[in-house]
Amino acid sequence: MKILSVEKIREADAFTIENEPIDSIDLMERAASKVYEWIVKRCKSKEVVIKIFCGMGNNGGDGLALARMLFFTGIIPQVFVVRTSDKMSRDCELNFNRLKDETETPMYDIFTDDDFPIIKDNEIIVDAIFGSGLNRGLEGLAADLIKYLNNNNAIRIAIDIPSGLFACGSQQSTDNGQQSSSKSTDSQLIAHISQSIFKADYTLSFQFPKLAFMFPENDVYVGKWEILDINLHKDFIENVETMNFYTTEEMAMPILRKRAKFSHKGTYGHALLVAGSSGKTGAALLAAEACLRSGVGLLTAHLPKDALLPMQIYLPEAMTEVDKSDSHCTEIKDILSYNAIGVGPSLGKNEETVILLKKIIQEATQPLVLDADALNIIADNPTWLSFLPDNTILTPHPKEFERMFGRTYNSYERLELQRKMSVVHNIIIVLKGAHTAITFPNGTCFFNSTGNPGMATAGSGDVLTGIILSLLAQHYLPQEAALLGVYLHGKAGDKAAEEIGENSMIARDIINNLKFVETRQRHQKD
């Protein structure tokens, strides 16, 4: 699924209007009908009180069309037109007149704060005030109204995007996109802006996700978001170029290959995992088990002596190569005989380990995935980034990313820095979190659609490293391994959350549910 800029979305609308062909007012009708269907499906009673707040543009037109449809269903909404300007858009005015002439819907104007209605906790608020075209924070009447609407316990629904939220960027910036030199000024500005953004429980967006939905600081405004297909022209969607994508099951799962009848363990590659240090064996065990559970033919775990017995007891299927050191990894005899190498889980930062990692980076000809302490070592030696093998996969969490590449002001700036580092160093960066962002050397970014807060637990990242390492060893391209690995990791986590709940999840539950993902894919192909 593509994530488009506001300009590209407008082009999609225009292309559809011209080439379907369809009049713009009818396209608005189609969009409003999707919102109507979503709401009616969830309303248990026609006595529900729905207050729809409509702006003067096309977003307001969506709200007015929705009100008319609800009226003819027997749900009588209350419509409040927010008079922030003297003129409505053409389609908004057409729907305003249709609502007034064809129904007996109660309609009210909001000119000042005195016009704000009383809102009860058992009511539903629909935000159709502003659409996705905003590029500056709200002020005046609109800002005051948004603050008022947020100050209650009613269910809040936003049409397309919460009013006041920027569609393609991060809200934590000044109106002109420049950082303030004063931290106190920054904090005051952010607080002011955040109060003037509608806080939706549900956001019903048309056709495409908005880039803003991928950023953690916007979650409080977006709530649970869903994409409503309004049948914009397929030719435009297929051909339009974008740098941002949202990974869906339809895209990720076909990458997963079916195993051949006459294949053997050599067919599925030999992985080397370099992990573990004194007192931190668990991460190595988790990464190793995840690697084997993801289909690799053979796995060798290079470990310090202290980790040997735990590995042999916990995972006898893994072969081991024991380091001369009791407490940390210092040297590997031969790295050329493996199909892929993973380095990092609980590795530690001993001086000898640092030298070992440098040697691996310099000598490896096979795909690499680097995580945890391998990333922290690179952060301490930033010049190493320039000689990482092409398409090396780095899997940092936000703090590790910051250590390697520097601090950023907001998630949008961090995304652009991540994209730049992937291009400059010809590497793949998997920035872990909700909607894990994967950037590739060509500058594209894929946001993941699977996963849940239950995966925010110790060892979850080590499991991801093992999955990606396994796929690399099985001769998946690094781009495929990163994208599919992240998707499978999140999908298994979602299944685990269904079975035992998010609060009770541990990393092994993710591994244990990889079988569900693989089995489902096999049944789909059969």
Q: Rounded distance, CA 171 to CA 179, Å?
A: 12
Q: Exposed (0-12), middle (13-18) or buried (19+): which is 1, by Cβ within 10 Å? A: middle
Between the CA of residue 454 and those of 166, 169, 499, what are the distances in Å?
A: 29, 27, 12
| Tokens found for residue 2 | 């593509």
User: Between β-strands 437-439 and 428-431, what pairing exists: parallel, antiparallel or unpaired?
Assistant: antiparallel
| DSSP-based three-state secondary structure for 303 | strand
Query: Assign residue 433 a region: left if phi > 0, alpha if psi is -120 to 50, beta otherwise?
Result: left
| Nearest by Cα to 455 from 409, 416, 494 | 494
- Tens digit of pLDDT per residue, the chain (526 long)? 999 999 999 999 999 999 999 999 999 999 999 999 999 999 989 999 999 999 999 999 999 999 999 999 999 999 999 999 999 999 999 999 999 999 999 999 999 999 999 999 999 999 999 998 887 889 999 999 999 999 999 999 999 999 999 998 665 543 434 443 344 444 444 444 678 999 999 999 999 999 999 999 999 999 999 999 999 999 999 999 999 999 999 999 999 999 999 999 999 999 999 999 999 999 999 999 999 999 999 999 999 999 999 999 999 999 999 999 999 999 999 999 999 999 999 999 999 999 999 999 999 999 999 999 999 999 999 999 999 999 999 999 999 999 999 999 999 999 999 999 999 999 999 999 999 999 999 999 999 999 999 999 999 999 999 999 999 999 999 999 999 999 999 999 999 999 999 999 999 999 999 998 866 555 455 5
Q: Radius of gyration of the chain from Cα atoms?
A: 26
All structural domains of the chain, each given as residue ranges with its CATH number in brackets, are 2-242 (3.40.50.10260), 263-525 (3.40.1190.20)
- pTM assigned to the model: 0.94
Q: What is the DSSP string of 257-300?
A: PPPPTT--GGGG-EEEEE---TT--HHHHHHHHHHHHTT-SEEE
